[in-house]
Structure 1
Amino acid sequence: MDIVKPESLLMQIQPTILKFTKMLASVLQLEVEIVDATLTRVAGTGPYSHALGQNLNTNSHLLRYVIENKREKVVIQSHQDPLCEQCTHRESCTEQAFLGIPIIVNNQCIGVISLVAFTQTQQEKIKKNIQMLSDYVRHISNIFVGKLIESSATEINFNNVLITLIENMDQGVLVLNKDNMVTLSNSSAQKQLDINSETTSHVEIHITPLTQLQNYNCGHVQYIVKIGQRQLLITGQLHSIQEHQLLLMAFHQSRMALDDGLIATEPNFDQLIGNSKPMLRLKQLIARIAPGSSSVLIVGESGTGKEVVARTIHRLSLRSDKPFIAINCAAIPEQLLESELFGYMKGAFTGASNSGKVGLIQSANHGTLFLDEIGDMPLMLQAKLLRAIESREVLPIGASKPISVDIRIISATNQNLSMYIAEGKFREDLYYRLNVIPIALAPLRERQADIELLINFFLNLHTRRMGCVYPGMSPDVLQILQHHRWPGNVRELSNLMEYLINIVPNGEVIDSALLPPNLIAQAQHAMQPPKADNHAAEQEHEANASLESMEKLLIEETLLRHPSKKLAAEELGIGVATLYRKIKKYQLKG
């Protein structure tokens, strides 16, 4: 039998390490490099992302020190450390700080995980958090070791051995027949559902998903388990096998209260996860405005899911069977944006395709055009877009005749367009054309009630995609995540869940030791009692005032387009009597 040498162990799990390295760098906002004991680069980010699998013997004095001494090395002022004096590239080196942690297996150093700073901000982060970062990376090192020595499970016979295994599982197992009667349940499931073994064969149980997702019968999600008049919220996997339903309950169960608000979630909003007050208001608004053709402007911070909202509006509209074309105005160079939006004719300019090109506006004909980051659109193109909206025609570059189009425009921004208008960066007339129906998305910090539901959604999404075991989550981690400020909103939460799934040992619970130290520190600060008791009341008052202002503007603009109160009320999705009350409330011209 061949013995695997220690220096090749890390390369054995290089795919795992590569994914981990990118996420670690993203979470800590530092560059990461991982080498094995022979100074072969296994993984890296930034300037270390190249030369993977190559030996770095030259000028690797800091890494060599960690390997030879089996101890960590910290350098806060690069170029001044004695080891740096030996480097022949010292003068041209751009590294400003270094933290290297050895990976130890059987008292042998098999490699190094290093965090490197290239900016003053990164340097300060290492300087102020040396012990915290060191403890965290050392913990991650131990996880690598665990992945290296995992042994594969042996095959076992099925029949009686499988039944015995189920009976002794800590994980709850429930099997229902086609009539929803229990045919098999172990003690863990009986305890979780508060039923006993004597009555299980006479119990009828109905299992439905809390959030209606496509293919929800595969993977861990939350289910409403109805037993008689009782309803429980259970996290687990539901499988359909030969007219039977098999529910595998997760080790870690949610503590969310099951109320009518959760059960009443509309199935059409399958990607809008959440049942907090802001999300319920959003779903109600989308249900009212989706069937129409009026332009929609979605405003919200980065990561709040503006494109998800736009796609939901399109899917619930009368144009759902027509194209949904999305374009990020900030991602396309200014000189290409015009040709992308409006298209061009054959020979319109040097380098143009011989066959010309159909623009995205024309491609969205009869459908929906989604303009993300609309605030970054150049002024010249804003004028051309305004003409296209008003005339319902587009003029490709080099064309002599316009082409008629019928599109609904949904735009989105995280910018303050009112400020942009004042600064001359955005056209006011275009703003009013796009902002017929304004939608403001709440940041995740204002949707605390949705965090556990989103955690469960992303754990299920990423474990299914990566083929991993669904992990549990300790109560202290959940508390920390619920008090985090989430500057990156839902996108940040998704990235964190993917990161944690990659580093948690299979089948184990995510505990606070796996969380990035900066996240723990921020959450602990947020959990401190507020200084002013009336702060929350003030915030709620400001939110209500903002909503009323938005409602007033929406009604006012609708009345300008529809002198008929009946037509205006129909577009707003309210009764005529309600419309008259709103007109009186906001003192609008009737």
Structure 2
Amino acid sequence: MQIQPTILRFTKMLSSVLLLEVEIVDANLVRVAGTGPYGKNFGRKLGSNSGLLKHVIDTQKEKIVTHSRFDPVCDGCSNKDECQEKAFLGIPILFQHTCIGVISLVAFNLEQQQRLRDNLQEFSDYVRNISHVFVSNLLETQGSSSGLNKVLFSLIENMDQGVLILNEKNQVKFANAMALKEFNLAQEEIVGKTFNIHALTFHQNYTSGHLQHIVSFDDRQEIMIGQLHQIQDHQLFLMAFHQSHSSFNDQVGHQDPRIGHLAGESKPMRLLKNLITRIAPSPSSVLVVGESGTGKEVVARAIHRLSNRSDKPFIAINCAAIPDQLLESELFGYLKGAFTGASANGKVGLIQAANQGTLFLDEIGDMPLLLQAKLLRTVESREVLPIGSSKPIPVDIRIISATNQNLEQYIAEGKFREDLYYRLNVIPLSLPPLREREGDIELLVHYFLSLHTKRIGIIYPGISAEVLKILRQYRWPGNVRELSNLIEYLVNVVPSGEIIDTYLLPPNLTRGQYLHQPHTSAVSKTTEICSSQDTLGLENMEKRMIEEALSHHANKKLVAEKLGIGIATLYRKIKKYELSSN
């Protein structure tokens, strides 16, 4: 327990990398460190319901359980029926042929269970290697503060991800080999250099997971994907396996953080953000016009967050999604007994519910003419008249409307009231379609990768340059919503540890385009001839190339580098082709 704080830092880092819960116990079943449900009772010996951990200690062999509670080792557990664990991988910590403890990876939901099942070999090898480096050095140097630092540095140096450690002055204290490779710098060039790292998006809402970060040093500025952890007076920047070194605009990241969900730094988006910042404090009505999927509600919420009503309700209603006969009662509310079927307690309408806040009327062009007249009275008098009532109720609301229709044409056709239009269109905002937002595609892609990988709970994937090129050339009729849906689809289908490549794209994006692979790696080059060879021939070629590389190099990390693929991908392909990994 004297070295427990160091082990706990290691445990949290391991959990954030593998997206699983981690528990470490010693040979006496004393909990040394853990995350999630295991993040308490450190220094206390576990009870009798620790059969899996005891089995690993007794046998000195790893234990895999993909469906907890059904394993024979679990038979004697009195907590078996209430057990929340869905899958378990226990790895013995061996030192001088003795098991001194166990590192266990545990899944508590179906997504984690599937991830553990799909990556058993990779996770096992990774944890066994890193625990050997970590624990061996700990036992050799325990009791020395400088020795503990050496242990952490040794751990980080052997990671497959780039890692930077910064001190309280933002100066680089340590950088591992992968970080040096990412920045193309030598150790003596980077140590002591001042690095400024801060999240580009989502930093107000997401405190974990892979995010885009602005990394600034000397006269260089890059967007890097990773996790930034504050540990006492130090910062630990853990980079993602796959990076996309995008160009950087020096105005990125200098806007109000409350507008951060409006991802995009193209000229039209910067103008829009500046305009939103100026008009947000005003009580005047706003009409947001834009094609379907351009983010009209996102803009409305940004205006609300930047206004002095931000701590009051934001009420949104889609006028096209509610039947005409119900829309009036939803908006204006009603008194008890106002009509047949009315609730005995009456109902407060959404306009009244938005009092002192913001009312967002989406698809305003689909509102019936009779309701338009009633809404006009509310806008002009700032009073609402519930159905069945003769006494108006004063309300203090700001109205933001949105439409993808041409309301001026609707006015000419008699479908929309001209007087209401001018009341709602005091401040017009026009949202640019995605095809006109030059330079925003890559930023939005990584924005949605952050969002969906965090929400679904999967590993942050890379994305190939060829895919980004196709996405930039596509016209995006569904705009940002279509891009978000595409990225959500891709993060669900991309194999763990691999990058999103062109073969994963749906046909509507690739139809009529000649696809060529951008990678120069040996394995990825084989995919260039997919159109001229069948799948079996391609796999045979890939298998031979991996076999040849394995015969020349014993180090898996070196093999992966020679083939130009990730270490996790290498292990998956070794398993797929049933190759010897010795």
In the superposition, the TM-score normalised over structure 2's length comes to 0.62
> Which deviates more, 243-252 or 268-277?
243-252
Q: 1:146 to 1:370 in 2, by over 3 A?
A: closer
Structure 1 counterpart of 2:231, from 241, 249, 269: 241
Structure 2 counterpart of 1:207, from 184, 190, 197: 197
Structure 2 counterpart of 1:491, from 475, 481, 497: 481
Residue 370 in structure 1 maps to residue 360 in structure 2: yes
Give the match for residue 371 of structure 2: 381
Residue 401 in structure 1 maps to residue 391 in structure 2: yes
- Kindly indicate whether the alpha-carbon contact (under 8 Å) linking 1:296 and 1:437 is maintained by their aligned counterparts in 2: yes
Give the superposition deviation at 1:488.
0.9
The C-alpha deviation readout for 1:191-228, integer Å capped at 9, x for no partner, is 22233223444233221223363145522222222223
Give the superposition deviation at 1:150.
4.3
Give the superposition deviation at 1:357.
0.8
Partner AA of 2:384 in structure 1: V
Give the superposition deviation at 1:177.
2.8
Instruction: Tell me the secondary structure at the aligned position of residue 235 of structure 2.
Output: strand
In structure 2, the gaps of 5 or more residues are 1-113, 138-151, 516-582
Give the match for residue 440 of structure 2: 450
Residue 151 in structure 1 maps to residue 151 in structure 2: no
Residue 259 in structure 1 maps to residue 249 in structure 2: yes
- Kindly indicate whether the alpha-carbon contact (under 8 Å) linking 1:219 and 1:238 is maintained by their aligned counterparts in 2: no
Instruction: Tell me the secondary structure at the aligned position of residue 120 of structure 2.
Output: coil
Give the match for residue 41 of structure 2: none
In structure 1, the gaps of 5 or more residues are 1-144, 526-590
Instruction: Tell me the secondary structure at the aligned position of residue 299 of structure 2.
Output: helix
Aligned residues: 381
- Kindly indicate whether the alpha-carbon contact (under 8 Å) linking 1:290 and 1:316 is maintained by their aligned counterparts in 2: yes
Q: 1:215 to 1:335 in 2, by over 3 A?
A: closer
Give the match for residue 475 of structure 1: 465
- Kindly indicate whether the alpha-carbon contact (under 8 Å) linking 1:342 and 1:394 is maintained by their aligned counterparts in 2: yes
**Where do 1:484-563 residues align within 5 Å?**
484-521=474-511
Partner AA of 1:483 in structure 2: Q
Residue 422 in structure 1 maps to residue 391 in structure 2: no
Partner AA of 1:214 in structure 2: Q
What CA distance in whole angstroms lies between the structure 2 residues aligned with 1:328 and 1:522? Answer: 37
Q: 1:262 to 1:180 in 2, by over 3 A?
A: same
Aligned-residue identity in percent: 65
Q: 1:241 to 1:466 in 2, by over 3 A?
A: farther
Give the match for residue 127 of structure 1: none
What CA distance in whole angstroms lies between the structure 2 residues aligned with 1:247 and 1:160? Answer: 24
**Where do 1:106-505 residues align within 5 Å?**
150-151=119-120, 153-154=123-124, 155-156=127-128, 157=131, 158-159=134-135, 166-211=156-201, 213-505=203-495
What CA distance in whole angstroms lies between the structure 2 residues aligned with 1:420 and 1:179? Answer: 60
- Kindly indicate whether the alpha-carbon contact (under 8 Å) linking 1:472 and 1:509 is maintained by their aligned counterparts in 2: yes
Partner AA of 1:514 in structure 2: L
Instruction: Tell me the secondary structure at the aligned position of residue 202 of structure 1.
Output: coil
What CA distance in whole angstroms lies between the structure 2 residues aligned with 1:322 and 1:509? Answer: 43
Give the superposition deviation at 1:425.
1.2
- Kindly indicate whether the alpha-carbon contact (under 8 Å) linking 2:333 and 2:348 is maintained by their aligned counterparts in 1: yes
Give the superposition deviation at 1:344.
0.4
Partner AA of 1:441 in structure 2: L
In the superposition, the TM-score normalised over structure 1's length comes to 0.61
Give the superposition deviation at 1:507.
1.6
Q: 1:240 to 1:419 in 2, by over 3 A?
A: same
Q: 1:523 to 1:331 in 2, by over 3 A?
A: farther
Give the superposition deviation at 1:147.
9.9
Instruction: Tell me the secondary structure at the aligned position of residue 401 of structure 2.
Output: strand
Q: Which has the higher contact order (CA 8 A, sep 6+)?
A: 1
Q: 1:160 to 1:280 in 2, by over 3 A?
A: farther
What CA distance in whole angstroms lies between the structure 1 residues aligned with 2:115 and 2:402? Answer: 45
The C-alpha deviation readout for 1:412-465, integer Å capped at 9, x for no partner, is 011111121122111111111111111110111111311111101110111111
The C-alpha deviation readout for 1:175-198, integer Å capped at 9, x for no partner, is 223332333321121122233223
Q: 1:429 to 1:219 in 2, by over 3 A?
A: same
The C-alpha deviation readout for 1:37-74, integer Å capped at 9, x for no partner, is xxxxxxxxxxxxxxxxxxxxxxxxxxxxxxxxxxxxxx
The C-alpha deviation readout for 1:399-418, integer Å capped at 9, x for no partner, is 12111112111000111111
- Kindly indicate whether the alpha-carbon contact (under 8 Å) linking 1:235 and 1:250 is maintained by their aligned counterparts in 2: yes
The C-alpha deviation readout for 1:325-352, integer Å capped at 9, x for no partner, is 1111111111111011111011111111
Task: Could you list the structure 1 runs, at least 4 aligned residues long, displaced by more than 4 angstroms after superposition.
Answer: 145-150, 160-165, 522-525
The C-alpha deviation readout for 1:494-539, integer Å capped at 9, x for no partner, is 11111111111112111101111221126669xxxxxxxxxxxxxx
Give the superposition deviation at 1:245.
1.8
- Kindly indicate whether the alpha-carbon contact (under 8 Å) linking 1:265 and 1:275 is maintained by their aligned counterparts in 2: no
Give the superposition deviation at 1:170.
4.3
Q: 1:472 to 1:347 in 2, by over 3 A?
A: same
Partner AA of 1:349 in structure 2: F
Give the superposition deviation at 1:384.
0.7
